[in-house]
């Protein structure tokens, strides 16, 4: 039996009722809070920033998984630690010295993640795979919730799982974008460990039951 982790993306929450939605995740079978930070430069959208994350951290009772879609993320590593991040994920495409950035994240006591855009080949991560706690495979172009899943992502998961095996690494594979009950099982079969789901969870009539269903079908 696999213990697939479910990480609802707060980007799809109702920001006028944020505390209610955080309590919903606390009460559900979800494992992590997935927090999308966008700067309007790395991606063509701005989500929310420090004060909102600070408010979320005060109520969230589960692991806080922060996905930085920002240029030059090194500027804010210490800040995100202070704001409550347990896992800090930076984009491969946004880091010139990725190895150094990962070491800086770990030096702050956080788990270090690397996200890859749909066009980035996961083979590029092989030389540093033993330094990465989590790879976030973007199964949509980052910047917006509610987009359709890119089918090619299954192959990327399988290819990355093979790289992790070959290097005897402990890296988790996370999938972000367009996750629903239609693709969850196949993603886990390909090797995914963590599923991020935004609009599928928050757009459901019953988000708690939807999270429970994702847990059940990925066992
Ligand atoms: C996209 C974000 C995702 C997004 C997922 O840039 O990184 O985390 O919130 O949303 P859905 O599940 O709606 O595709
Ligand atoms: Zn994300």
Is residue 85 within 8 A of residue 91, CB to CB? The reply is no
Q: Confirm whether residue 203 is marked as ligand binding.
A: no
Reported as a single tens digit per residue, the pLDDT across 118-157 is: 999 999 999 999 999 999 999 999 999 999 999 999 999 9
Q: What are phi and psi of 202, to 5 degrees?
A: -75, -20
Mutation probe of ligand 1 site: the residue of 147, 198, 200, 211 with most atoms within 8 A of C-beta: 198
Give the whole-angstrom CA distance, residue 140 versus residue 81: 27
In this prediction, residues 178-192 reach a mean pLDDT of 98
Which position has the token pair 């946004």? 94
Which ligand is in closest contact with the Cα of 183? 1
What is the pTM assigned to this prediction?
0.98
Give the whole-angstrom CA distance, residue 139 versus residue 92: 15
**Is any ligand 1 atom within 6 A of the Cβ of residue 146?**
yes
Query: Residue 1 pLDDT more than 90?
Result: no
Domain extents in the chain:
5-217
Interval between CA 9 and ligand 2 midpoint (Å): 7
Query: Residue 81 pLDDT more than 90?
Result: yes
Residue 65, beta-bridge partner list? 34, 87
**Is any ligand 1 atom within 6 A of the Cβ of residue 179?**
yes
Neighbours of 107 (CB within 10 A): 12
Give the whole-angstrom CA distance, residue 204 versus residue 24: 13
Q: Confirm whether residue 206 is marked as ligand binding.
A: no
Domain 5-217 fold is TIM Barrel (3.20.20)
Helix (H), strand (E) counts: the chain: 8, 8
Query: Residue 91 pLDDT more than 90?
Result: yes
Q: Confirm whether residue 149 is marked as ligand binding.
A: no
Give the whole-angstrom CA distance, residue 54 versus residue 57: 5
Reported as a single tens digit per residue, the pLDDT across 104-115 is: 999 999 999 999
What integer pLDDT is reported at residue 132 of this predicted model? 99
Query: Residue 213 pLDDT more than 90?
Result: yes
Residues annotated as part of the active site: 36, 176
**Is any ligand 1 atom within 6 A of the Cβ of residue 11?**
yes
Query: Residue 67 pLDDT more than 90?
Result: yes
């Amino acid at each position: 039996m696999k213990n697939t982790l479910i990480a609802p993306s707060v980007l799809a929450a109702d920001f006028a009722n944020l505390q209610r939605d955080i309590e919903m995740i606390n009460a559900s079978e979800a494992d992590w809070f997935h927090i999308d930070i966008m700067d309007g430069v790395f991606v063509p959208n701005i989500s929310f920033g420090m004060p909102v994350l600070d408010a979320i951290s005060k109520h969230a009772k589960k692991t806080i998984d922060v996905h930085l879609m920002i240029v030059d993320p090194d500027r804010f590593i210490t800040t995100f630690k202070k704001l409550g991040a347990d896992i800090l994920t930076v984009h491969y495409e946004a880091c010139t010295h990725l190895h150094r950035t990962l070491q800086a994240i770990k030096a702050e006591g956080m788990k270090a993640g690397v996200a890859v855009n749909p066009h980035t080949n996961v083979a590029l991560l092989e030389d540093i795979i033993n330094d990465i706690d989590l790879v976030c495979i973007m199964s949509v172009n980052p910047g917006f919730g509610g987009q359709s899943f890119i089918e090619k992502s299954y192959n990327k998961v399988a290819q990355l799982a093979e790289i992790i095996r070959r290097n005897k690494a402990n890296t988790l594979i996370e999938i972000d974008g367009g996750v629903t009950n239609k693709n969850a099982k196949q993603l886990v079969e390909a090797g995914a460990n963590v599923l991020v789901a935004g609009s599928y969870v928050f757009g459901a009539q019953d988000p708690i039951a939807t999270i429970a269903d994702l847990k059940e079908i990925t066992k």
